[in-house]
Amino acid sequence: MRLLIQSKTTGKFLCPALDGGEPVWVQSLREAGGGVVSDLEAVNQLVEDNCDFEDMPQLIDLDRLGTPRDYAKGT
C-alpha cells in the first residue's frame, strides 16, 4: 500500500518530513511524494498526533487510483 493523508479543508498533504523532522503539511503532491506511508498503523499515528478536527483528514490509497476501485467511481 502507498498511502497519503490529505486535508479536505485545505487540500494539503500530511507527510513525514524527509529531513528527519516533524511531519508537515505540504501543498504539492510532488512534495508529499517522499512522505508516502506504507502501513495503516503509521497513518493512524500521524493523524492522531498531527490532525485537528478542522483538518478533516482523508486517507488516499495511491494504488487505487486509475483502477476499477478508483475513488472517482464513488467507491
| Residue matched to cell numbers 511531519 | 23
* E strand or H helix that includes residue 14: strand 13-15
Phi, psi of 8 (to 5 degrees): -70, -25
Q: Contact 23/34 with Cβ under 8 angstroms?
A: no
d(CA 11, CA 44): 19
Q: What does the pLDDT look like over 15-69, one tens digit per residue? A: 877 777 688 899 988 887 667 889 999 999 999 999 999 999 999 999 998 899 8
Provide the whole-model pTM. 0.82
* E strand or H helix that includes residue 41: helix 40-50
